[in-house]
Structure 1
Amino acid sequence: MAYRFSLADVGFLRSAEGVAALAACAELSLTDRSRIADVAAAREIVGADFAAAVLETVLLRRKSVSKVDSATGWLFTGDALQQASASPVARHRARRLAGRDVHDVTCSIGADLVALAGTASRCAGSDVDEVRLAMAAHNCAEAGVTPALVRADALHPVTKNTVVVADPARRDAAGRRAWRPSDFTPPLDELAEAYRGRDLLVKCSPGIDPSLVPWAGEVELVSLDGGVREAALYGGSLAGVARRATVLRGDGTQWTITSDDPDDVGAAEPGEWIVDPDGAVVRAGLVRHYAARHGLWQLDERIAYLTGDTPPPGVRAFRVLEHGPYTEKSLRAVLKKREVGRLEILVRGLDVDPDALRRRLKPRGHAEASVVLTRIGRSPVAFVCHAQSGQK
């Protein structure tokens, strides 16, 4: 069970005494093995009343390093950190709203609000949870931004003529993931109704079904370093195209493809390379558009693997060594012939568990290979490849 912070905890953590306690506990191991000793040390340093809050904050700050930039002095709750956007994703979304008056109506501890406040003409944040709102005030001050903050229910508008940004909670009180938009907090339909006629941006999980959000004129899928992070739903004048995929990388580079781009490609015989498009492209339904941009084509019109004679730059692609109908027996023979011992298996369009298949194949040898399993038409096909390193 995650620790539940109180306003008293936040007040202590923001005080000079709390800052000193956090610094003193920052070097504790905080592992399962050291738990009893760490709790005893924290109680000695802080006292019983706030030891748990201090230890939880130290742990969450360590976890935040890979997600939130420059947040070493921030305050978090476990749920809020889990739902917060990675900083590059938050900054990308904020850039799309640059120069506008923006109200983050579910600002939580302020991770997205800080990015919005850096680009908006004017910025406000609100939340129904007074503890998270107090943490947001602290975190915004740490980041050097000063949005207006108010306690308010997201379903009861308190600003006018602003772009409304929302990030509904997607877990219930027991921590179970909510899949239906009606189970979000606040519910997605009620949120859209509350801001009918307003410019609205809602952050959702990447598995959202666009048919469930007819008010969203644009659905943007965003990935970071190959992992799909979120879907962003844009309503009102914010919507530019029906579908967009944006691929961000940790080095600051990015590219975008949209449903307005050409998609005049079809399926044909395999080329020299197999390309697995970035997950944002696949989830946005823009595989053909991506293929058209890079001179590729499809192996099968219903499968997201692409093929061609030259892979796009910076993409992890697979040079085809040989291919043919897939059976375990035939694949085992090819791997044995090539003395493959280190084996990567990628599957799309077939009911095959890569890990279970690898165990059954028992590859042995000095060579390394990647196997791409898919289907062309109704026929299962195996491609034995050498992977070209790159970042999707």
Structure 2
Amino acid sequence: MGYDFTTEDVRYLRSSDGAAALAEVDQLELSTRTHLADIGRVRTRFGDRSGALVETVLLRRRAVGKLDEPAHWLLTDDALQQATPTVVARRRARRVAGRAVHDVTCSVGAELSALVGVASDVLGSDLDPVRLAMAARNVPAATVLRADALVPVSRDTVVLADPARRAGGKRRHDPSALQPPLPDLLEAYRGRDLSVKCAPGLDYDALDWDGEVEVVSLAGGVREACLWSPGLAEPGVRRRATVLAADGTGWEITDAEPDDIPEREPGEWIVDPDGAVVRAGLVRHYGARHGLWQLDPRIAYLTGDAVPAGMRGFRIIEQLKYTEKALRQELARLDCGVVEILVRGVDVDPAVLRPRLKLRGSVSLSVVLTRIGRTPVAFVCAAGARD
């Protein structure tokens, strides 16, 4: 649990005295090694303001790489954990460019910041007075007000929502347990242009949703799913994968593209598609775009004779029916001393298997464990590399 900010804390942190105090506290290391001594100095210097000051400095440091100019933000721990990375928020903002937008769960303003200068008008609302006060400080160009996300208070706006998926640092996975509950949110804005940020593990097929589902990854990690109502979706698109690099550049693929791929023996390479492609159910579409095919129609690994630009591939050295003994013997024959193990479709824990292989060689290799039909298969590959 992080520090429990009050509106009085926010008023102080927004003041010139608060800004000066934050700058002073930011000069401290505040590491595990120096924690007790640093906290003592802050308490001596700033008394009962010390908790808000130290927490804000630490949160700003954690926000580096997630939010632009984090040294200027006021944050809470839960708000930072759920905040949309700036590069993802900007990507989403471009889809509603020129429209008036109302973020009905604006929190401390991460989405509002990306909308300013892109949307024609930016409105944010939330029930939490502390986060609203922070949002007003973080994004002064937006209008913020206190309102219940389930009670519409704006007209002719695109509605954005990000139901809280965390409480006390713990994730909620049940859509009905979100705040506000996802089914209630969808019902409250039925017929409106609506975009809802959700957890990437959401069971989309279980939702009564006739728009688009976009799954977004950032720097190799799947970050979120986003529901787009029919009025905001591209015609003919129900699923989209958006793959972003850390600098915000990236590419997309949708289910409007062809998904016809051949059935062939494994090629020279195995390609593990980006997680957004897998979560969005677009593995075949990605394979068709790049001339790849699947090892097995029910497994998300692709194979081919070339690796798409920028993607990680594993060049196959040997293919064998998987047993632990057979794999151990093959790795010993290849003088393997370090192995990366990727698993999909078979019940094997890499952390348990690795020491049982008793590797003593000098070569680094990768092993892809999967199945083709009912047969468990091991592909021994050169260490994974990007084309």
TM-score range, shorter chain: over 0.9
Does residue 119 (structure 1) correspond to residue 118 (structure 2)? The answer is yes
* Structure 2 counterpart of 1:191: 185
CA shift for structure 1 position 58: 0.5
CA shift for structure 1 position 388: 4.3
Distance in 2 separating the partners of 1:70 and 1:386: 41
2:366–2:382 Cα contact (<8 Å) kept = yes
* Structure 1 counterpart of 2:367: 371
Q: Map 1:1-392 to 2 at 5 A.
A: 1-46=1-46, 48-141=47-140, 146-172=141-167, 174-240=168-234, 241-390=237-386
CA shift for structure 1 position 69: 1.5
Which deviates more, 25-34 or 281-290?
25-34
Distance in 2 separating the partners of 1:104 and 1:251: 24
CA shift for structure 1 position 266: 4.3
Distance in 1 separating the partners of 2:269 and 2:68: 37
Distance in 2 separating the partners of 1:68 and 1:390: 28
CA shift for structure 1 position 313: 0.8
Distance in 1 separating the partners of 2:384 and 2:96: 37
CA shift for structure 1 position 175: 4.2
SS of 2:386's equivalent in the other structure is coil
Length-normalised TM-score, structure 1: 0.96
Distance in 1 separating the partners of 2:272 and 2:231: 33
Distance in 2 separating the partners of 1:193 and 1:336: 60
Encode CA deviations 1:173-215: one digit per residue, 9 max, x unaligned: x543211111110011111111111000000000011123223
Distance in 1 separating the partners of 2:263 and 2:36: 61
CA shift for structure 1 position 35: 2.4
Distance in 2 separating the partners of 1:118 and 1:390: 37
Aligned residue type for 2:188: A
Length-normalised TM-score, structure 2: 0.97
SS of 2:87's equivalent in the other structure is helix
2:22–2:53 Cα contact (<8 Å) kept = yes
Unaligned regions of 5+ residues in structure 1, if any?
Answer: none
1:316–1:387 Cα contact (<8 Å) kept = no
Unaligned regions of 5+ residues in structure 2, if any?
Answer: none
Which deviates more, 174-183 or 331-340?
174-183
1:197–1:236 Cα contact (<8 Å) kept = no
1:198–1:236 Cα contact (<8 Å) kept = no
Which deviates more, 381-390 or 182-191?
381-390
RMSD: 1.2
Distance in 1 separating the partners of 2:154 and 2:210: 21
Distance in 1 separating the partners of 2:84 and 2:45: 33
- From the superposition, tell whether residues 216 and 176 of structure 1 become closer, same or farther in structure 2 (CA, over 3 Å): farther
2:212–2:230 Cα contact (<8 Å) kept = no
- From the superposition, tell whether residues 122 and 49 of structure 1 become closer, same or farther in structure 2 (CA, over 3 Å): same
